[in-house]
Amino acid sequence: MISYATAAAVVDLTSYQKKGLHFPSVGLMPQIIENEKPIPGSQSRGKNWGREISIVKLKGKINHFGYDITQDPPKGIDYHATVSDVQVWIDEYPFTREFDIRSDETGWWRMYIIKYKDVDLEFSFIYEKKGWITTKTNAITITDEDRMDLAIQYIDPWYYHLAIKPNIEEELSEIFPYPIELENALVVTVGKSWASMHDDRLPHGDPGATTVLTPEVYFPAIGPIYFNRRVQPDPVLTETSVDGGVAYINIPTDTYHVTANKPGVEYETVKFYVTEEDEANGVVLYIASPPDSVQGDNDSGPGDY
């Protein structure tokens, strides 16, 4: 089954790939009639009939991120490790959750978007798996071009619950006069121009940068918290390390933009939608992973300033 959206997009599961490609790029009414009833998001008032559509392929990798704390001492999880059976859906089009799109045994997922030509879309992907940390991405622009390099740093649940969360709560509680409990976190990577989860050059980060979150947040929200070279949040740091990671915690609902500053470098700006629906959906982490994070035009090598 294919569902058509008059205003923007159509989502087709990977398992329906051939069926989706079978339809010609013509008006939408024949497909709606064939299904005998309007499909969610498909109703049109007529002005879009006959417009050209584009079929865009999306492909993404779910990286298993963190440390294996079952080992003594804990050991970093292999950079190439992935997570299978993770459900992926589009927050802006919540009916896509019903499609049950999941990462395969290699940690990759695929879908087709059928959209109007020359109309860009914003997709915030939500990743969820039982026992893991539900994660939402920044709003990623989808054009008429295929995107085969999407990625997410999907944090190991044991590492999050037994190391990251208690450690950051303890460290912040020593700085602030109140006990701090981590409820959610927004995380970006301030990276080199080539930074990508598909690039083996490590580390990705651009050291010596500071981030700017708009609008500003105030206590109980806290940030920026920069990650050290061991890929751990360190409240003492005042600028990015070679890791490039930056977090803001306990952020309220709003639309946020994050960019960075460093002399001589221009950075991208990423956008996050933090909504009331996120809490109902179990979203805890908001993560922008390279190549869709705060990349700059600094093309120096790994670890270089």
Query: Cα 202 to chain center, whole Å?
Result: 20
221 lies in the same domain as 135: no
Strand order in the sheet with 108-116: 9-13, 108-116, 53-65, 147-155
Whether residue 301 is contained in a domain is answered as no
Q: Is the pLDDT of residue 286 over 70?
A: yes
How far, in Å, CA of 182 to CA of 285, rounded? Answer: 10
Whether residue 89 is contained in a domain is answered as yes
Long-range contacts of 234-238 (CB under 8 A, 24+ apart): 235/168, 235/171, 235/172, 235/175, 238/210
Whether residue 66 is contained in a domain is answered as yes
pLDDT in tens, 48-61: 444 587 889 999 99
pLDDT (average), residues 277-290: 98
160 lies in the same domain as 149: no
Residue 206: give its domain's CATH number. 2.60.40
Number of folded domains in the chain? Answer: 2
Amino acid residing at 81: A
**Structural domain ending residue among the three candidates 154, 182, 215:** 154
Which residue range(s) make up the domain with 38? Answer: 9-154
**Structural domain ending residue among the three candidates 154, 189, 221:** 154
Per-residue confidence at 99, pLDDT binned at 50, 70, 90?
confident
pTM, rounded to two decimals: 0.85
201 lies in the same domain as 146: no
184 lies in the same domain as 195: yes
How far, in Å, CA of 65 to CA of 285, rounded? Answer: 13
168 lies in the same domain as 107: no
Strand pairing of 9-13 and 108-116? antiparallel
Whether residue 29 is contained in a domain is answered as yes
Whether residue 60 is contained in a domain is answered as yes
Q: What is the pLDDT of residue 18?
A: 34
Q: Is the pLDDT of residue 283 over 70?
A: yes
49 lies in the same domain as 186: no
203 lies in the same domain as 264: yes
Whether residue 42 is contained in a domain is answered as yes
Q: What is the pLDDT of residue 159?
A: 96
One-character DSSP codes across 98-157: GG-EE--TTSEEEEEEEEETT--EEE-EEEE-TTS--EEE--EEE-SS-EEEEEEEEE-H
191 lies in the same domain as 227: yes
**Structural domain ending residue among the three candidates 138, 154, 170:** 154
140 lies in the same domain as 242: no
| Per-residue tokens: 284 | 């805890």
What does DSSP assign to residue 193? T
163 lies in the same domain as 89: no
50 lies in the same domain as 165: no
pLDDT in tens, 226-281: 999 999 999 999 999 999 999 999 999 999 999 999 999 999 999 999 999 999 99
62 lies in the same domain as 102: yes
Whether residue 247 is contained in a domain is answered as yes
